Amino acid sequence: MSLRADLAIIADHVAGGSRVLDVGCGDGALMAALRDSKQADARGLELDPRNVAAAVGRGLSVIQGDADVDLAGYPDASFDYAILSQTLQTCRAPDAVLGQLLRIGRHAFVSFPNFAHWRVRASLLWGGRMPVTRLLPEHWYDTPNIHHLTVDDFRAHLKERGVAVEGAWFLSGDKKTTSAAANFLAEHAIFLLRGTNQG
């Protein structure tokens, strides 16, 4: 089974034998890949009980819980990597969740759909409707994405917080695109951040 493009990039850049927390791990596809190809000790947090059951069925350790609430219980720097893929924009308090991620992981991967991608812009500019795209397939009323953000929004937020960026990858479709034009050309951004506790 092949991983989604953003997950494949994350999997490629996790050091072997790491302790990994996947926040919003879905059915555990990334965790299973990290366990099988990187011998990672992977743990997951997932909101949907059906996904939890599926992940546990793969022999993974997954806790049903809410990133907005349940990250507080994890000790500082208890993981080498804390991963938040495609989940930041669904959080009630994404800034607080990011803070927890940086506290728990010595490094953090954050990936999100870029709301400033040209197709999103065009849809809003010419159609006058909330964009429905490949990565943002839901309508305004049923989308779980309640805090849309752009690549530049995230960069500005990291700068404001003084968070060190250790890597960044940008995807258009499944292809990588440049950092310079990312805010316009990237459908999807993946950042590797330095945690606040290196302990």
Partner 1 sequence: MSADDQRFGLQRHVILPGPLPLDGGGRLAPVEIAYETYGTLAPDGGNAVLICHALTMDQHVAGANPRTGKPGWWTQMVGPGRPVDTDRFFVVCANVLGSCMGSSGPATVDPATGAPFGMSFPVITIRDMVRGQAMLLDYLGIGRLKAVIGGSMGGMQALSWPATFPDRVEAVVVIASAARHSAQNIAFHEVGRQAVMADPNWRGGEYYGHSTPAAGLAVARMAAHITYLSEAGLTEKFGRKLQAREAKTFGFDADFQVESYLRYQGIAFVDRFDANSYLYITRAMDYFDLAEEHGGLLANAFRQTKARFALISFDTDWLYPTRESRAIVQALNAAGAPVSFVELSSPYGHDAFLLDSPEMNRVVAGFMGTGL
Q: Which residues would be at the binding site for partner 1 (CB under 8 A)?
A: 41, 43, 49-50, 52-65, 70, 73-75, 78
Non-local CB neighbours of 197 within 8 Å, separated by 6+ positions: 76, 77, 103, 106
Q: How far is the CB of 13 from partner 1 (least distance, A)?
A: 24
Read off the amino acid at residue 195.
G
Nearest to partner 1 of 61, 197 (CB atom)? 61
Nearest to partner 1 of 66, 166 (CB atom)? 66
Q: How far is the CB of 157 from partner 1 (least distance, A)?
A: 28
Nearest to partner 1 of 41, 166 (CB atom)? 41
Non-local CB neighbours of 113 within 8 Å, separated by 6+ positions: 86, 89, 135, 136, 145, 187, 188
Positive or negative: CA dihedral 177, 179, 185, 186: positive
Q: How far is the CB of 80 from partner 1 (least distance, A)?
A: 13
Nearest to partner 1 of 78, 133 (CB atom)? 78
Nearest to partner 1 of 3, 54 (CB atom)? 54
Ramachandran category for residue 162: left, alpha or beta (phi over 0 → left; psi -120 to 50 → alpha): left
β-bridge pairing 165-172 and 175-177: antiparallel
Q: How far is the CB of 98 from partner 1 (least distance, A)?
A: 20
Nearest to partner 1 of 49, 128 (CB atom)? 49
Q: How far is the CB of 19 from partner 1 (least distance, A)?
A: 9
CA-based nearest residue to 68, from 100, 39, 36: 100
Phi, psi values for residue 21, rounded to 5° = -110, 120
Q: How far is the CB of 83 from partner 1 (least distance, A)?
A: 16
Which stretches does DSSP call E strand in the chain? 19-23, 41-46, 61-64, 79-85, 105-113, 165-172, 175-177, 188-194
